[in-house]
Structure 1
Amino acid sequence: MSYTVNLSSNQRLTVVNQGTQTLITLVSSSPGQQQSQSNSFTTGNWTSAPQLYKTGSGFILQLNSDRGKHHILIQGNSMSTTTTSSMQNAVQLDLESISDRTSSPNNVEFEPMQPMKPMKPMQPMKPMKMGDMSMDINQMSMQMGNMSLSMEKEQKSTSTKHFCTQCGQETKIGDRFCGSCGHKLDN
C-alpha cells in the first residue's frame, strides 16, 4: 500500500508499507534542484489507510497497524515518532493512493528539471592601472615605470645601450674591450 500528498507547492510526501516497515519519503524541489529524504519506521503491517493531519507545528501521520497506533511528526525536512494522540485544531489532509511501482524509494516520481542554460562567454579583462604601473592580462604584459615584461613570442628591445658583463659599465657599440676594467667584450 502506497500513498502520496503535496504538503506544499514544493514538498511532496510519499508513504509506503513494506512488510513491517513504513517508508516515508519527502521530496523537496526548487528551481533547478530536487532533494529526496527517506526514513524507515518499524510499524507493522497497516490495517487501514494512513491518515495525515496538519497541525500548528507541522504534520502528524497516523498509522494503524497490527502492532497498534503510531504517530510520526513531520516538521520541515525532519521526521520522528511521537506519542501525540491529541489532534486538537488539526486539519485532516487527503492522501492519494498510488501504485507500488512508482512508490518505492528508488522510483519516486520527480518533476523534470528545466534544462540548464549555457554559460555566457567571459568578457576580456580590462587592463589594470595603478600609478605608473599597468597590467594587461589579455596581452600578458606588465609595465612599471620604464621596465616592461611581455609574454609575446618575439620580444623587441628598445634599448641600444650595451654594458660590460664583468663590471657593468656602459660601453659603446664597436668596443672590443671595456674602457673601465679591460674585459674582452662579446659583440
Structure 2
Amino acid sequence: MINSFFKSTSLTLLILLCSARLVAQEKSVQDLEFLIGTWQVREDIKDRNWWEESTRIANYTLDSTFIEIDASSRSSTGKERTYRWFIHLNDKTQQFEMVSMFSNWHKVQFDLLDWNPETRKLTIRHAPDPSSEEYHERFGEMIFSDDFSSYEWKGENKYGDPDDPGIWRYVEKGVRAQE
C-alpha cells in the first residue's frame, strides 16, 4: 500500500512538473514587451564616417499579436527616412519574425529574432535568400541594460556580391525616452 501510494504520488508530481515546464516554454510576442515605448537611437558606422539618429515608437498592434515599431530618422548626410518594423511570433515554428520596410529601400526585409531573457540579448539574423537576385545578409545582437532603459546593438549588414560584399558594421545605442 505504501509502495502504491509512493508510485501514484511520484507519478502525479512528475506530470505536474512536466506540465509546468511545457507551459513555461510557451512563447508569446509579449515576451518582447520591453520594446514597447519611445526610443531615442543613434547608429554609427565608424569605418564609413556615417551616423543616423532616429526616434522609434513601439506599440502593440493587430489585437496585440504584433509589435509595430515606427521610426523616423536623419543621417549625417542630411537624408531623412522613415521605416517600420513588424514583429510577431510564428506559432507554428515558435520563432519570432520581423518584417522591415524602409522608405529609402526598394525591398522588404525579413529577419528571425532570438530572445534570451537571462542575458537580455535579442539576436537578429537574416540569411541570404538563394532565390533572390540580390545578396543580403544581416546579423546583430542587441543587449539591454538590467532595467531595459537602454541597449547597444552591434551588427553588420552585407550587400551586393556574395563573394565580395559591401559590409556595413554598425554600433547602435538606444535610450528609452521618458514618458
TM bucket, shorter chain:
under 0.3
TM-score by length of 2: 0.27
Higher strand share: 2
**Greater RCO between the two (CA within 8 Å, min separation 6)?**
2
Point out the structure with the larger helix share. 2
Structure showing greater radius of gyration is: 1
